[in-house]
Every structure is written in structure tokens, then in C-alpha cells.
Amino acid sequence: MSRRVARSLAVMSALLMVGAFAAVARAEDAPKAVGEWTLKIMTDDGQTLQGGLKLTQDGDKIKGLFTGPDGTEAKTEEVTAKDDDLAVKVVLDFQGTELVAKFKLKVAGDALKGNVEYDLGGQTGTLDVAGERKAAGAKIGEGNWDLAIKTDDGQELKAAVKLAKDGDKLGGKFVGVDGTEAKIEDAAVKDGELSFKVVLDFQGSELVAKFKLKAADGGAKGTVDYDLGGQTGALDVVGKRPAAAAGGALGKWDLEVVTADGQTLKSTINVEKDGDKVAGKFTGQDGKEVKLEEPKLDGDNLSFTINLDFEGTALNAKFKGKVEGDAIKGAVDYDLAGQTGTLDFKGKRAGDAKDAK
């Protein structure tokens, strides 16, 4: 490995210690940059490294937090957000050396684009950055949701929603508290808000319910305006993905990791339930097997760590991916005897695993 590549990996590993972004719905009057973002940082040697950023508004100021893939966090400094422009500075200690990273980005809807200027103990440079808002657009809409509707007298009514794309439209089915099913009407996602209408018979009276939900706290929050035979009102609603949705990641997967020099590394994982926990094993392309460490299922998100011997060298790899039907994609942070970086991975469900859900 050349010195330049090694320096680039070290710098970008440091930058990633400041990055890993999670999801918040932004206030209507907040600056465009407020919210949670995922970032991709392009290195000089062609790698794409992923990070994240969370920005919140506190009065007339904006506060931020970078969280690295290893859990390291750093507060932002000198955050300015005006119109489409966002500037963020981060200062932290990287292996005993001060790292100063200055991001200059532009917001275009749910996308970010710009660069980061870094100074790692006198070693300086500029790298391109691209990003997207987490949990934006139709991501809140599609899939299954369990809803809890809170009444004025303190009761909690349970319902369920199943949403899916039909061409360029969004539709689905609503299941009420008594098991009654109804077609979802006028479903749409705009500015990160899901809205839909349901009309059904409730104990002999027509019920018209109009829901509005936004992503929040790992699920969704919002309201439902109802008209029950002329009796109207609005109630709070909390939504979450059903536990069964996590089962979409269960089974056997064929994975591919493309290295910086264009090689394709193939492997398989087998993910299964062990009581109320998750377990599994990883099989490398050389046939060696190791267990999945710290496996976690969160909705459609799967993460796990592996430790193995790679051609005589200790390899630690942390996978984070998202399941979409019979496909999975994400990133893997690796440490190969001190040489670190991040690579993209993708995979598909193995043929004999489609019944494992």
C-alpha cells in the first residue's frame, strides 16, 4: 500500500470518528439543514466512507453531534445554516493528534453536497462529500405499522396499517381495533409526512379517519382527525414497525464486498432467532466459519461484527445493512491489523432461505 493511500485511510478513519447520522423530523420553521443525515466521503484512492450528522435547533442556534461507527461522539462547533448553505466544524483527538474538520455543504431538498477540509496535525487536504436526509420521503410510508391511538379518557386503541407501492401510487389496508379491515385512501408522502384516509363502519356508524404521521423516536408520531357520525375530534397517534418486520433479515444471505482495488469478496451469513435474541454465523469465501458477534435486528436494519483470521492477519469487521425484500445493502467498517476503512456491501437472499422468515 502506498504512503498516500495509507495517509488517506488514516485521515478518513479519523473523519469517520466524527460521523454517523440518525433520524429526526424537522420543524416547519427550522433551517433546511436541521435533521439527521447520512454522509458519503470520497477518498483520494476511490473509496467511499460513510458517516453521519445530527443537527437540532436550540433557540436561535443550531447544535450538532457527530457519532462515529465505533460509537465515538463529538460536538459540532461554529455551525451556520442559512438558506441552502451549511457549515460545520469539528475538533477532536485522533490517536493523540488533533483533527480539525470543516464541512461546507449545500442542502437541496433531502440531499447534501459539498466538501470537507481537514487538518490532521499539519497534514491537510479537501475531500468531496455527499449526503441524504435519513428517513426522508416515502421511507416513512411503505411497509407495516402498528398504531396506538390515545383517546381523551386515557385508553389506547390498537390498529395496524399495511402500505405498499402500486406503480407510482401508495395504497394498502387498515385493520381497526375490532379487526375490521378497510382500504386506505388518498395515501401520500410529502415533506417527510405520511397522510392517508380510512372510511369504515364502526358499530353501525360511519367513521372517517384522516391520519398524519412523521418519523420520530425510531417510529412515527402524529394525529388522526375523526368524524364518527357527526362527532368530530383529533387524537394523538404513535406508530412503530411490528416486531415481525425484523424477521425479514432472518435466513441465509449471499454477500459481496468490493474492495478499493476492484476485487469482489464473497461470503454468506445465516441469521436466526435464538429465543428472544438473534444469533448466526458468517462463512468466508475460504469456507471458514465464525459466529456473528453483537447481532442486532432493528426493523429492517441488521448489524453484526465478525472477528476472523484473514490470510494470517486479524480482521475485525462491523457490518450495518438494510433489508429491502430479498436484497440487503450497507457498509462494513474494517480493521485489518490497524489498517482501517469502510467498504460498501450488498447481498441477496439465498434460494433456500426465502422460507426462513
CA-based R_g, the chain, Å:
23
Residues 163 and 113 in one domain: no
CA-nearest of 162, 163, 161, 160 to 177 is 160
Structural domain of 28: 3-133
Query: What is the C-alpha separation between 172 and 166, in angstroms, rounded?
Result: 9
Do 17 and 117 fall into the same domain? yes
Are 111 and 83 in a shared domain?
yes
Beta-carbon neighbour count of residue 283 at 10 Å? 16
Does residue 286 sit in the same domain as residue 189?
A: no
Q: Are residues 186 and 113 in the same domain?
A: no
In a 3-state reduction of DSSP, which class is residue 217? coil
Same domain? 123 vs 8:
yes
3-state class (DSSP) for residue 138: helix
User: What's residue 265's pLDDT?
Assistant: 87
CATH number for the domain spanning 29: value is 2.40.128
**pLDDT value for 6:** 39
Residue (of 158, 155, 136) closest to 145 by Cα position: 158
- Strand order across the 35-42 sheet: 73-75, 61-67, 48-58, 35-42, 123-133, 111-120, 97-108, 85-94, 77-82
Q: Assign residue 302 the CATH number of its domain.
A: 2.40.128.120
Res 336: pLDDT: 87
pLDDT at 243 (0 to 100): 52
pLDDT tens sequence for the chain (357 residues): 334 433 433 443 433 333 322 222 233 345 778 888 888 888 887 777 777 888 887 777 888 887 654 556 788 888 888 888 899 998 877 778 888 889 899 988 778 899 989 998 999 999 998 888 765 433 577 777 889 999 988 889 999 998 887 777 888 899 987 778 899 999 998 877 899 999 988 888 899 999 999 887 667 899 999 999 999 999 999 988 765 444 567 888 999 988 877 888 889 999 887 766 888 999 987 788 999 999 988 767 889 999 988 778 888 999 999 887 778 889 999 998 888 889 999 998 875 434 333
- 187: cell is 395515501
Closest CA to 54 of 32, 76, 72: 76
Of 185, 218, 241, the domain-final residue: 241
Q: Are residues 277 and 237 in the same domain?
A: no
Q: What are the φ/ψ torsions at residue 231 (nearest 5 degrees)?
A: -90, 120
Q: Specify the residue for cell string 468531496.
A: 128
Same-domain check for residues 315 and 248 = yes
> Residue 136 has what pLDDT?
40
CA distance 206 to 181: 13
Whether residues 208 and 287 fall in one domain: no
Residues 7 and 118 in one domain: yes
The confidence score (pLDDT) of residue 354 equals: 40
Given 211, 241, 271, which residue is the final one in a domain? 241
Number of domains in the chain: 3
**77 and 127 in a common domain:** yes
pLDDT computed for residue 57 by the predictor: 77
pTM, two decimal places = 0.39
One domain, residues 119 and 188: no
**Do residues 236 and 150 lie in contact, with contact meaning Cβ atoms separated by under 8 Å?**
yes
